Amino acid sequence: MSRIVIIGGGPGGYEAALVAAQLDADVTLVEAEGPGGACVLTDCVPSKTFIASSEVMTGYRHNERFGIRSAGLEGVSVDAVAVNSRVKKLALAQSADIQAKLVKAGVDVVQGRAQLGEDTLGHTHQVLITPDKRETSVRSRAMAGRSDGQAYAVDASMVLLATGATPRVLASARPDGERVLDWRQVYDLTELPEHLVVVGSGVTGAEFASAYLAMGAKVTLVSSRERVMPHEDADAAMAIERVFRERGMTILNQSRAESVVNTGSGVLVTLADGRTVAGSHALMAVGAIPNTAELGLREYGVDVADGGYVTVDRVSRTNVPGIYAAGDCTGVLPLASVAAMQGRIAIWHAMGEAVAPLRLRTVSANVFTDPELATVGVSQNDVDAGRVQARQVMLPLSGNARAKMADLHDGFVKLFCRPATAQIIGGVVVAPKASELILPITMAIENNLTVDQLAHTITIYPSLSGSIAEAARQLMQHELQ
């Protein structure tokens, strides 16, 4: 029987554990914080739950345009304690669901920390586990013959590293949990920030800036680049930046924060050019660093790339046979969906199952701003840089009947197809719930569909998805010219 030890219980780790248990492996999963990992407890799940509350708040705005009279936002207020306790409760419940699933599948879940042990240079690997004092895994205690928080070693034929990442900290802007916060600390606030200064305009910064703005906070977004979300489709990022500004957000482009100081009654953010921004709170969203420093990787001979990421191939192998890695600690593409797939692939590969290498071509991603931004396949950058030959169309949603009914003015659908075969190879959607609308484009790419096939699909009338088929029809027309 394969003996597998998984370090880290986020999507990379727990999805792998479920697959391994299904294949009858003896699986131990060691997780420091709780099943579901940072994804469920502090990052993805809490942020999307918070955004769900902000969407309720958005629903109270602009009702008069629809002929609905109300007292506007007067009488509507945000109970930050209630919002944040809902966030935390939901995260814990999700973690408990995952724990139950793992236990039911027969996975030995150990609460504690693990690292690679002595390099045995043989066919087995050693993992050192330091269980948490609260540790409850009867199986691992019995195996180790220990009953307290003492460290013990277990042998494994395969080890999966899935330890995730942690918010990057600037030395001159250390989160204090009171006014200078990282994205894991915002849920401890007892009041909505009066004026939140978000430092960093990547996906994390943009999502929080959008949600707090919708909640009614004054928001200033400090963006070190020429536009928000510099790695996303430029048309989409600029459309969202325009919406942010129209709704009253202050965006400081090409502005790098040099330091952030808690002044006692607020925060003072000093920019590299000497300007200062005062606010009530600051949210640091300046990226993440992989949790790999304490795994004993170098001593074990596991290759680590710049920035501390574990180097893996497309079946999640490191350079050391039997040691695999998945998720944010690899830096391949920091998404929960990708972490989960890397983890599953690692197990299938290690256990000799048929496995296809990870394909990033059909990974769809979504930024949960308002409106949302979903992307899949080749990007505008790929096309503009000449890496991919493509024809493309960008169709504003403002002409869509359903969008008019819902009073949506912003947003678009963009499609890319191969010039000769008209095969669909990429797409961008900016719209409310773009995360749901991107699926037909993802499926088209996955199944090598052409614009003709998408264009001939009968869509609901009226619907936003109708614009996707319409975009495909426009590309067909181009083909005839």
Ligand X SMILES: NC(=O)c1ccc[n+]([C@@H]2O[C@H](COP(=O)([O-])OP(=O)(O)OC[C@H]3O[C@@H](n4cnc5c(N)ncnc54)[C@H](O)[C@@H]3O)[C@@H](O)[C@H]2O)c1
Stretch that binds ligand FAD, among 152-160, 276-284, 333-341, 408-416 (CB under 6 A): 333-341
- Residue 341 engages ligand FAD in binding (rule: CB under 6 A): no
Q: Is 198 an interacting residue with respect to ligand FAD (CB under 6 A)?
A: no
465 interacts with, out of ligand X, ligand FAD, none, CB within 5 to 8 A per kind:
none
Binding mask 267-296 toward ligand X (x if CB under 6 A, else -) reads: ------------------xxxx--------
**Residue 8 interface partner, choices ligand X, ligand FAD, none, CB cut-off 5-8 Å depending on type:** ligand FAD
DSSP 278-290: EESEEEE---EEE
251 binds ligand X (CB under 6 A): no
- Token pair of 449 as six digits: 């569909």
Start-to-end Cα distance in the chain:
62
Contacting residue, 365, 394, 406, 443, with ligand X by CB under 6 A:
365
Q: Pick from 4, 162, 374, 378: which binds ligand FAD (CB under 6 A)?
A: 162
Q: Is residue 48 annotated as involved in ligand binding?
A: yes
Degrees, nearest 5: CA angle 355-359-363: 125
Is 207 part of any known ligand binding site?
yes
Phi, psi (5° rounding) for residue 100? -65, -40
Which residue has 């928000």 as its token pair?
Answer: 228
Contact 156, 25 (CB under 8 A): no
- 198 has which bridge partners? 221, 283
Residue 88 in marked binding region: no
Q: Which of 4, 5, 6, 10 binds ligand FAD (CB under 6 A)?
A: 10
- Distance from C-alpha of 312 to C-alpha of 331, rounded to nearest angstrom: 9
Which C-beta is closer to ligand FAD: that of 44 or that of 358? Answer: 44
9 binds, among ligand X, ligand FAD, none (CB under 5 to 8 A by kind): ligand FAD
Residue 273: exposed, middle, or buried by beta-carbon count in 10 A (0-12, 13-18, 19+)? Answer: exposed
> Maximum Cα–Cα distance for the chain, whole Å?
76
Of 7, 14, 3, the C-alpha closest to 32 is: 7
The CA–CA distances, whole Å, from 87 to 77, 186, 433 equal 17, 11, 20
Q: Return the closest-CA partner of residue 8 out of 26, 33, 27.
A: 33
Q: Is 287 annotated as a binding residue?
A: yes
Does 163 sit near ligand FAD (CB under 6 A)? yes
* Residue 236 contacts ligand X per CB under 6 A: no
Which spans of this chain sit near ligand FAD (rule: CB under 6 A)? 7-13, 30-33, 37-39, 43-44, 47-48, 113-115, 162-165, 183, 204, 291, 294-295, 327-329, 334-337, 339, 368
Which spans of this chain sit near ligand X (rule: CB under 6 A)? 170, 199-205, 207, 222, 224-225, 230, 256-257, 285-288, 334-335, 365-368
